[in-house]
A and B are shown apart, each in its own frame.
Chain A
Amino acid sequence: MATVHVNGVDLRVNRYRVGHDGGRTVVVFVHGLGIVDHSGLAFTLGMPLATDAETVLYALRGHGHSQVVPTGYRVADHVADLVALLDALGIDQPVHLVGCSYGGAVVVTAAARHAARVASLFLLDPVLPVPGWPERVLALLEPVAAHLAGGYTIEDVVAALGGVSRRKAAAAARRAERLLLGTTLLDDVRAEGPLAAGDIAGIDCPVRKAAAAARRAERLLLGTTLLDDVRAEGPLAAGDIAGIDCPVVAVYGARSEMVPQAEALVALVPHAEVRLIEGADHLSVFGRTRELGALIRQSV
């Protein structure tokens, strides 16, 4: 892992290749917005694909161990980070971009603005920069920010978690007792609100992880201009999207709320190939790693 300073921000970056010299095939992953970073993708897709290509994963500004800068959370900022990162890493050949969720808006915009840098797009349950996308993202983030600003109890977070093992439950109970009754943690984190219901459902963790996630969400949503930046966003011009001529594959969970955007994508980019993964929604589709890995291999 390395920290690379580009475009005025420190980004945490991982590059992988296994059993080959990397050749000319480079796959760069762009993760989603919120409490996630690139590490989950690194284990489930980045490292497995490294047997066939060089894979590059990094934490978007404000996410994971990348720098939390106070401002600059427009898609254009993330695109500028991405291009500057490729420059800093000495990657001058066109790369295959994998955009996950909000990362889809970043890589589509990158392809539209920097066509010479992009060999193909693989969109994984993407948010696309089409009309209405900021509202779609804000509908998820603004309630979280309201909770964070308005106060909450850690019990709210814990109540959303279930199905734990006896050992985990016992460990969680011990931790909860010590933390909640024996320390000032409750007062300290009361300002760290519950996450969006969808985000909590995807976490499956006891107090410690939930509190950490809440801290990260608070840091990003209340400590930066991210929300204002998203509010100020508009769609990418239809002509710009239509001008994308590299191969495009978009994979959606068949039950994802993102699926309706696929029509807009195909209308603008007729050569885009849309695949559905049955039984998966926006969160669970990222766990279908075997299918996704095979599809990305086919794509690149």
Chain B
Amino acid sequence: MSKFILILVLSAFATYGIISFTQNQNVTTATHNSVENYSATQARNLANSAIQMLMSKVADNANYRVTSPITEQMLDGSVTYMVTDGVIDGENLIKFYVESNYNEYEKEISVYAKPLDPYPTGVTAPAAITANNNLLSLGNITIDGRDHTKMGTLIPGEGTYGIWTTQTFTNSGASDIGGTYNNVDYNPSKNPDPSIIAQNQTWPGGTPPTTPEEVLLDLPFNISLKEYAKSGDWGSQYVTNPNLLTYPLQGVTYVEPTDGAWINANIIGNGILIVHNDQLNAILKNTTGAFTGIIIADDIIHLHSNIIGAVISLTQNPSGGNTIGNSSGYVLYSKEALKGALMSVRPRNYGFASNRLLIRHWYE
């Protein structure tokens, strides 16, 4: 009897041992799988973190590059990284490469990014005066599409149309129109060469702009120019009562007149001057003072100022007829003045990572 019980007890021990061993094997396999998964995840996290840190460094200093691989210990693992210049499909980009290692698990990430342009790159208006309505010039105004410095000195062969409109243009009175076509300059004349006056055109991009933002190319972060003007950056101003403007105008000056019109408008200054409301009927009338930069207005009636840069009219239905100028003054096209004006739209970012990067390609 006792022998039999002994055999049973030993058998039970043996069975328990086998079961326990098998269970331990399962637990070991499960633990191994967990560790593998954790290591793979950690390797991926390391690589992603390193990429983000490198992009922050470039955002802080656009010239930051690491042309030879550097290996650093990070979060119980290691990362090897490089930051170099690269070209993909003709586009100059910054390449970030990171290889991470955690518990013998490796992960590679390649990212191509480009620094965002800090200010708009241009305007969709191709002339000294660009309009979306019929135009008429009277008086002694001079409209010259030849290129000038921001001081008004002529730069030969670099200019554009004097007038460009989606509708028609009539030159009357003693006004002079000049411009450049195919790198040939045409002096301002009462009988201008037809090649420097573009009529019945289609607005670049197909649709005429209805907001000032649509006039500017590559507006950084798609900001609202009204909000930007309110920020006061670079001397910008936003007013609904033009009498409250501070002179000389600088940065982005955004006028949204409460009564719909800014008459006898003193525009002395520089930058970008916007006269606009949601109804697209804000009036800029009888300007005075010299202005250097870009003027964008819904409804322009009679420019009497000396303007260097470009003028853009948005409305199709001017309230006071089509006369853009009926007295003295001039509009001289100037790429330099345009660039200077566009640079006044530079949203300020402060401190670390003040530059922005646009990620173009991400491989992991």
Is chain B a partner of chain A in the same complex? no
Residues of A within 8 A of B (CB): none
Residues of B within 8 A of A (CB): none
